[in-house]
Amino acid sequence: MSKHTITEASGITADEVLRIGKLYSSNELRGIQKKLTSTSGDLHKLANGWSIGSGLLGSLGDLLSHEQRDLLRNAAQLINSIGHNVTHAKEKRVRTEKAAKRRQDARDALSKQLVARTFPLPTETPEELLETIKAALILNRARQFYTSYNPSEFNVYIRNELKTPDRLYGRTVEQHRLSNIRSTRYSLIDDVTRHLAYDDGSSVEERLRLLQEKVAEAVGLAALTADERETLRLWQEALLPSAGQGEGS
């Protein structure tokens, strides 16, 4: 078994670099590689003494003994050896990151397709707008949307979207409310798409199946709670004035 020289970082293999540096990206490894290269260059300047371009380090090197210069050269070679293996680790990490990006891009694309098919939620007619509100309420209760709000808080949030703000900035009240619903729809589609695309080791289809199970469970408890039905009624009254008048006549 051959012995490694003192200037060879035999214990710092590319695999070891990746093991202990598993949280480092390829860009971070590239930065470490550059630092090692720079350090090695500075040590060589000290070891070789003054020459054109060596600057103060070269001049200081002239004051060192021969043995000290040899020690610096050995240190530079050791650092070069470390840098060489860090470079290999960086190249491996680049390949891993590219593969992960391809996998994530594929999951993102599939998630968008499945969400468009499962939750189209058009918002052109008043009936469609009400369905969007209902979907948002149910998905929140299933803890799949706006989870920073509990169902009671989210219901209040949706109901408050009916309020007329102090300033409409040139829009009508109807336009303001329509914008609120479409904004909620956009957030819902975005949240569900990112939820399905998240790579936890399961497939996008499996994550959709689990989401649908949670929604079915929430609906099974109650399609809408009394408070949620009241919120939907208020929105219906705002979106379909004639329907609200008909109920009261």
Q: Which residue type occupies 113?
A: Q
Give the model's pLDDT for residue 5. Answer: 87
Q: How many CA atoms lie within 13 A of 226 on its CB side?
A: 0
Contact 99, 67 (CB under 8 A): no
Contact 44, 73 (CB under 8 A): yes
Contact 158, 137 (CB under 8 A): yes
Q: How many residues can be counted in the chain?
A: 249
Q: What is the mean pLDDT of each run of 10 residues along the chain (249 residues)?
A: 76 94 95 96 92 88 94 96 96 97 98 96 94 95 94 96 91 93 96 97 97 93 89 93 47
Q: Kindly state the tokens that stand for 55.
A: 């600057």
What are the C-alpha distances in Å from 102 to residues 95, 191, 194, 223, 226?
11, 21, 16, 39, 46
Give the model's pLDDT for residue 244. Answer: 45
Q: Kindly state the tokens that stand for 161.
A: 């979207």
The reported pTM is 0.77
Burial of 184 by CB count in 10 Å (0-12 exposed, 13-18 middle, 19+ buried)? Answer: buried
Contact 58, 46 (CB under 8 A): yes
The alpha carbon of 89 is separated from its chain's Cα centroid by a whole number of angstroms, namely 24
